[in-house]
Structure 1
Amino acid sequence: MITLKKARSIIKAALSKGAEAGLNPLSVAVLDAGGHLIAFERSDGASPGRFDIARGKAYGCLMLGLGGDAIQKRAEAQPTFTDAMNGLYGGRFVPVRGGVLVRDGRGRVLGAVGVTGDTSDNDAVAAVAGIEAAGFTAEA
């Protein structure tokens, strides 16, 4: 499971990666396997609406069991499916990169991380950095 301590570690490493890379202010949400928020933090200067975006990126990954890369590709190829899923999940699903599944060493999904604030590709890089720094496996 992702403990609060591990969630904070993920956030710290993701924000550090963003700062090192000179990215725009990032916001990071860490969810458990059931889609419940464990921890969230936004950098100074990040807009307040970033909470919902970060959570939505992670939530979509959990609900579909896919990383953000696969979800974004599916959204581009099958927008009707993505729209239906977003309706099914009450609009809480953001189908772009930056949502990353967190897996343990045996491949089990423990939760997901959503990062927002820069390009979706850069958001995903920061999320992966945070997850790996905490000792988990990332599925972007």
Structure 2
Amino acid sequence: MSIDLETCRAIIAAVRAEGEARRLKPLTVAVLDAGGHVVAVEREDGASMSRFEIAFGKAYGALALGMGSRSLMARAEQQAYFVSAVGAAIGGALVPVPGGVLVRTADGELLGAVGVTGDSSDNDEAAAVAGVAAVGLVAQAE
């Protein structure tokens, strides 16, 4: 099973609503399926350049290593050479800071990942988690 377009759009809408409610800076949201393919992405007006690549890298890195990007950050702090090598191995698509969460069903099945960027990494992650929860799925941030 993989994540469908309508669910991805609903996640993005919920992430953006959370960002508005929290008065976050303009966000960019990328939703990938379990194979790392982009299903949907939106960049809010005023978002700075290269935000797609950052959102994608947060989500793709989470998928590549099977953990949320908060855990990737901790791993990078402990094993910098490993995380650097993984980033090189996957073409640089690895941004090991909070804001990338895995998307799972209640049973734990992996559906994809969401990457959010634009505000602080902690706020990006909070918006991603809220967006996933809004559609009845489970966000794995760690």
Partner-residue secondary structure (3-state), 1:86: helix
| d(CA) in 1 for partners of 2:137, 2:69 | 17
Which residue pairs with 1:41 in the alignment?
42
1:101 matches 2:86: no
Shift of 1:2: 1.2
Letter in 1 for 2:29: V
| d(CA) in 1 for partners of 2:103, 2:132 | 7
| d(CA) in 1 for partners of 2:30, 2:16 | 11
Which residue pairs with 1:127 in the alignment?
128
Using the size of structure 1 for normalisation, the TM-score is 0.98
Runs of 4+ in 1 over 2 A off after TM superposition: none
Q: Percent identity?
A: 56
Which residue pairs with 2:79 in the alignment?
78
| d(CA) in 2 for partners of 1:32, 1:48 | 24
Q: 1:1-140, aligned counterparts within 5 Å?
A: 1-140=2-141
- Provide the aligned C-alpha RMSD in A: 0.7
Shift of 1:41: 0.2
Deviations 1:108-140 (A, max 9, x none): 111000000001110000000100101110001
Q: How many residues align?
A: 140
Gaps of 5+ in 1: none
